Amino acid sequence: MGNSVSTTGIVSGRKDKQALAESFKDLHAPLSDHEALVASDRCYFCHDAPCVTACPTSIDIPLFIRQIATGTPEASAKTIFEQNILGGMCARVCPTETLCEQVCVREVAEGKPVEIGRLQRYATDRLMAAGTHPFERAAPTGKTVGIVGAGPAGLACAHKLAVLGYDVTIYEARRKGGGLNEFGIAAYKSVDDFAQKELEWLLSVGGITIEYGKTVGEDISLVSLREDFDAVFFGMGLAGVNALSCEGEELDSVINAVDFISDIRQAADLSQLAVGRHVVVIGGGMTAVDVAVQSKLLGAQDVALVYRRDKDSMSASLFEQDLATSKGVRIIYNAQPVRVLSEGPALSVEFAYTETNGGKLTKTGETFRLDADQVFKAIGQSLTGAPEALTLQGGKIKVDENGRTNVPKVWAGGDCATGGDDLTVTAVAEGRDAAIDIHTTLLG
Amino acid sequence: MADLTSNFVGITSPNPFWLASAPPTDKEYNVRRAFEAGWGGVVWKTLGSEGPPVVNVNGPRYGVIHGADRRVLGLNNIELITDRDLYQNLDEIKRVKADYPDHAIVVSLMVPCEEEAWKAILPLVEETGADGIELNFGCPHGMAERGMGSAVGQVPEYIEMVTRWCKQYYSKPVIVKLTPNITDIRKPAAAAMRGGADAVSLINTINSIVSVDLDAMAPEPTIDGKGTHGGYCGPAVKPIAMNMVAEIARTPETSNLPISGIGGITTWRDAAEYMALGCGNVQVCTAAMTYGFKIVQEMKSGLSQWMDEKGYASIDAFKGMAVPNVTDWQYLNLNYVTKASINQDDCISCGRCFAACEDTSHQAIIMSEDRVFTVNDAECVACNLCVEVCPVEDCITMVEQAPGTVDERTQKVVVKEHGDWTTHPNNPSAVAAE
């Protein structure tokens, strides 16, 4: 007999392939043509619309929705892509409930916003499915730009520069592009290998070369980049993982959540991926939710997500928290790990209850223990491998409002740089805006 | 409980909701279903002269203007009169009338504009026991090309002539159905009255091209690459129809002419509005073709509830009550001043009022940095555009300015007395106020 949810230890095949396929299907089904027309009709075409202000990439949302309503989703997609070339992925992964949809006047009035995210996906899917690219490159500028990282920031920067007539080379440390879109997002938010398809579609504009397996500090350096290119953009993301800083962290079954999420995304067969019967996740962001939910979907019998502060402080949105609980994840607020104990192959995590007094988090003195076969650390990522010449601030590359670093002709954006939330959409905005500033600087 | 029974020019029916002459009333099967579903009467689909029946196209005969979620807003058709044998229709009419003596059956007719043709068919209809006839002078497509339908309805002299023949050769009520495809509805209505018509019914369908297939480059519905103009009906035509009804109702010459209201009636409220404008009953087609016969249940319950709430015991109690309030523009009170007022509790800050007023009207709405919208009375001309574009009902209202207060826009004191264009100093033809 095969394994089941109640098989002891860390094992694969807790669910059969069919059950796994059902569990990991698209979180939000795509809108049909008619559903899109009905959903688009709900948009009021607000003046100076709050949704546009709330969008980090300032997509003209009322316009693109109206273009759907009038039967021209391709024109709609172009409106989206003009501001956000990764509009397809953002339609899937943006926390719209805390961005555009949160401020939709119909959310405010009725608690039911226009479904901006799903409509954006409808439009972008339509155009991308046609296999065409809506932008043409300007006449060659004769200038070149080197980019570190083929994640959302680097790709957005590269695309904008390519359209403006630059030749761009991207150096990517991994063997695949897409960054967190490829490695760091829950599988049910990006089904059917969408990140790679989007990458290929983006590159079809031309003028962008990606060199895979090239790491800063090993294969390339700030000095060589500055010598080889007219401008340099760093969009290298956060490759490090924050430590729990508690006893037992070094135990084998205490795992970085980002690695497991990546394993899930890269798995050819999810039934071959092992997961614990009892899983404990420590953290409070999207990564914590993504790993907790996916552990449950893989067949873990019980999954506890433990966060040190209260519900409202959690950086994962209420929607994400509800998603987690609806999938059977138990969220424990106000508890922080004290130590991880080894009990044979199994683990036990001791937590201390916390409370916030005058803005300060303190332990109450009470503790409890959770049994765990696997413990996932999801308490944030950190910058590693940034060239020493770049000034850091708060652990990130310090940039001004145009994305410029302290080093001339070097820009940075996305998670590795200061400013903005660590979201795909923010990274796209920063990459795009850096590209425009590079253009202004080089040819202005 | 309000009494919904209807007596229209002597034709009684359990309620004032009749199915108009159209596809739903083409045969016995449909009409029996309609009566069982609760309709008060039907106007049987138009019969033509004895002989080989007309033929219809074998491709699509309807086109539609859709609103959100494919709501049918306007329907266009190119169907002709009944394509079934005259005697089969007559037999069916006779049978159904015998089985439903309390329900109204009126027979719609369209034969050539010759006395002999009418003289031939009228006794046959009389023999069925139907309650009356309706003269189809309205259909704008197909039959009009053969000198019938709206081709007759567009010539008042023909209307008068044919109506007279019908009154001469038929004993029961004669209703003349009018085409809206004319410039002044009062002329054909008066002609019908002169010819002795017991009532008019309106409107028939409006000449229309409902849409163009941009691939085939042809009007829709498209028959083998070609299209033709058809008759437009449904909710979209209601405002046009109601104006025509009101014009007949408020014109002294025709003010006593009974009217059967037709055009986009979908709910009890539509029916009540037609009746308030002077209609004795109403006829329905598109709503039934969209939702089926069951919708009459809502029309009856809604009208009944509203009448109870208002204390109207019968339809006659409110019929025509709005007619005296339909007037010419020149008599509207220019001393009546209102200003838009935005209820901040209801406002959802969409800014549509601002965009509409700022771009297309009088720049009378102020938008603050934090998206609070307020009315600037010094600019507001009370046009009502903001009220109508606001997605929240009753969020913006028009508030009457009390006499004695100053209109900030004109800096004039609002006066209590009526003052209209006929006495206005800017009117070169003004008469002295009495």
Q: Is B69 on the interface with A (CB under 8 A)?
A: yes
- Give one word for A365, left, alpha or beta, with left for phi > 0 and alpha for psi -120 to 50: left
Report DSSP letters for B287-340, one per residue.
HHHHH-GGGHHHHHHHHHHHHHHHT--BGGGTTTTTGGG---GGGS-TT--EEE
Domain co-membership, B311 together with B341: no
Does residue B221 have a cis bond before it (omega within 30 degrees)?
yes
**Is the CB of A46 less than 8 angstroms away from the CB of B354?**
no
Q: Which of B69, B350, B392 sits opposite A46 (nearest CB)?
A: B350
Q: Is B367 on the interface with A (CB under 8 A)?
A: yes
Residue A304: both structure tokens together: 């506890």
**Is the CB of A41 less than 8 angstroms away from the CB of B350?**
no
Last residue of a domain, one of B325, B347, B375: B325
The residue assigned the tokens 């739903």 is B24
Region A131-141 average pLDDT: 95
Environment class of B357 (CB within 10 Å of its CB; exposed 0-12, middle 13-18, buried 19+): buried
Of all residues in chain B, the one with the smallest CA distance to A40 is B68
The helix or strand, by DSSP H or E, that contains position A318, with its residue range, turns out to be: helix A318-326
**CATH 3.50.50.60-classified regions of chain A:** 10-25+241-380, 144-239+383-443
Q: What residues of A are in contact with residue B348 (Cβ under 8 Å)?
A: 105-106, 108-109
**Is the CB of A47 less than 8 angstroms away from the CB of B348?**
no
Evaluate whether residue B99 is within a structural domain.
yes
Rounded Cα distance, A214 and A212, in Å: 6
**Is the CB of A50 less than 8 angstroms away from the CB of B348?**
no
**CATH 1.10.1060.10-classified regions of chain A:** 33-129
Evaluate whether residue B428 is within a structural domain.
no
Evaluate whether residue B147 is within a structural domain.
yes
Please check the confidence at residue A359 and state whether its pLDDT lies above 90: no
Last residue of a domain, one of B300, B325, B350: B325
Q: Is A105 on the interface with B (CB under 8 A)?
A: yes
Residue B11: both structure tokens together: 């034709």
Of all residues in chain B, the one with the smallest CA distance to A48 is B351
Q: What residues of B are in contact with residue A47 (Cβ under 8 Å)?
A: 350-352, 354-355, 367
Rounded Cα distance, A430 and A422, in Å: 11
Which residue in A34, A38, A41, A47 has the most chain B C-beta atoms within 10 A of its own C-beta, making it the best mutation to test that interface?
A47
Rounded Cα distance, B48 and B86, in Å: 7
Nearest to B386 by CA among B397, B372, B376: B397
The residue assigned the tokens 């109690």 is B317
Q: What residues of A are in contact with residue B68 (Cβ under 8 Å)?
A: 37-38, 41
Report DSSP letters for B17-62, one per residue.
EEE-SSGGGSSHHHHHHHHHHT-SEEEEEEE--SSSPP---SS--E
Q: Residue B132 carries which DSSP code?
A: E
* Total CB pairs under 8 A between chain A and B: 35
Region A270-294 average pLDDT: 96
Residue B218: both structure tokens together: 């042809």
Domain with B207, as residue range(s), is: 6-325
Rounded Cα distance, A363 and B123, in Å: 101
Which residue in B350, B368, B393, B395 has the most chain A C-beta atoms within 10 A of its own C-beta, making it the best mutation to test that interface?
B350
Rounded Cα distance, A402 and A329, in Å: 41
Q: What is the largest CA-CA distance in chain A?
A: 69
Instruction: Provide the residue-wise pLDDT of chain B in tens; the chain has 434 residues.
Output: 899 999 999 999 999 999 999 999 999 999 999 999 999 999 999 999 999 999 999 999 999 999 888 899 999 999 999 999 999 999 999 999 999 999 999 999 999 999 999 999 999 999 999 999 999 998 888 888 888 888 889 999 999 999 999 999 999 999 999 999 999 999 999 999 999 999 999 999 999 999 999 999 999 999 999 999 999 999 999 999 999 999 999 999 999 999 999 999 999 999 999 999 999 999 999 999 999 999 999 999 999 999 999 999 999 999 999 999 999 999 999 999 999 999 999 999 999 999 999 999 999 999 999 999 999 999 999 999 999 999 999 999 999 999 999 999 999 999 999 999 999 999 999 876 55
Evaluate whether residue B430 is within a structural domain.
no
Domain co-membership, B293 together with B360: no
CATH 3.10.450.100 fits A33-129, yes or no: no
Q: What residues of A are in contact with residue B350 (Cβ under 8 Å)?
A: 44, 46-47, 105
Domain co-membership, B37 together with B184: yes
B77 bridge partner residues: B62, B231
Of all residues in chain B, the one with the smallest CA distance to A33 is B69
Rounded Cα distance, A170 and A402, in Å: 20
Rounded Cα distance, A373 and A299, in Å: 13
Of all residues in chain A, the one with the smallest CA distance to B392 is A109
Domain co-membership, B158 together with B304: yes
Q: Which of B68, B351, B392 sits opposite A47 (nearest CB)?
A: B351
Q: Residue B3 carries which DSSP code?
A: B
Nearest to B224 by CA among B346, B394, B59: B59
Q: Is the dihedral of CA B225, B226, B230, B235 positive or negative?
A: positive
Q: What is the pLDDT of residue A358?
A: 85
Evaluate whether residue B373 is within a structural domain.
yes
Evaluate whether residue B254 is within a structural domain.
yes
Exposure class string for A422-431: b at 16+ Cβ within 10 A, else e: bbbbbbbbbb
Residue A76: both structure tokens together: 């709609």
How far, CA to CA in Å, does B277 sit from each of B7, B250, B303, B308, B321? 17, 9, 15, 19, 7
Evaluate whether residue B434 is within a structural domain.
no
Q: What is the pLDDT of residue B149?
A: 84
Domain co-membership, B278 together with B391: no
Q: Are B283 and B219 a contacting pair, CB within 8 Å?
A: no
Q: What is the largest CA-CA distance in chain B?
A: 77
Domain co-membership, B257 together with B131: yes
From B70's Cα to the closest Cα of chain A, the distance in A is 9
Q: What residues of B are in contact with residue A48 (Cβ under 8 Å)?
A: 351, 367, 371
Rounded Cα distance, B3 and B12, in Å: 13
Q: What is the pLDDT of residue A409?
A: 96
**Is the CB of A105 less than 8 angstroms away from the CB of B70?**
no
Domain co-membership, B134 together with B258: yes
The CA-CA-CA angle for residues B314, B317, B321, to 5°, reads: 140
Nearest to B278 by CA among B255, B301, B298, B300: B255
The helix or strand, by DSSP H or E, that contains position A257, with its residue range, turns out to be: helix A257-266
Q: What residues of A are in contact with residue B71 (Cβ under 8 Å)?
A: none
Last residue of a domain, one of B290, B325, B360: B325
Q: What is the pLDDT of residue B264?
A: 97
The CA-CA-CA angle for residues B176, B177, B179, to 5°, reads: 130
Rounded Cα distance, A3 and A16, in Å: 9
Q: Which of B348, B354, B391 sits opposite A47 (nearest CB)?
A: B354
- Domain A144-239+383-443 class, CATH top level: alpha beta
Evaluate whether residue B384 is within a structural domain.
yes
The CATH code of the domain that includes B350 is 3.30.70.20
**Is the CB of B349 less than 8 angstroms away from the CB of A41?**
no
Q: Which of A38, A49, A106 sits opposite B68 (nearest CB)?
A: A38
Could you read off the pLDDT of A375-403 as tens digits, one per residue?
999 999 999 999 999 999 999 999 999 99
Q: Are A101 and A107 a contacting pair, CB within 8 Å?
A: yes
Domain co-membership, B266 together with B385: no
Domain co-membership, B64 together with B203: yes
**Is the CB of B352 less than 8 angstroms away from the CB of A47?**
yes
Q: What residues of B are in contact with residue A34 (Cβ under 8 Å)?
A: 70
The CATH code of the domain that includes B248 is 3.20.20.70
Could you give phi then psi for residue A335, rounded to 5 degrees?
Answer: -150, 135
ipTM field? 0.81
**Is the CB of A44 less than 8 angstroms away from the CB of B352?**
yes
Domain co-membership, B237 together with B109: yes
Q: Is A38 on the interface with B (CB under 8 A)?
A: yes
Rounded Cα distance, A329 and A291, in Å: 10
Domain co-membership, B192 together with B313: yes
Which residue in A44, A61, A104, A108 has the most chain B C-beta atoms within 10 A of its own C-beta, making it the best mutation to test that interface?
A44
Tally of domains in chain B = 2
Give domain A10-25+241-380's CATH superfamily: FAD/NAD(P)-binding domain (3.50.50.60)
Which residue in B113, B139, B166, B350 is the catalytic one? B139
Domain co-membership, B206 together with B245: yes
Establish whether B139 is a catalytic residue.
yes
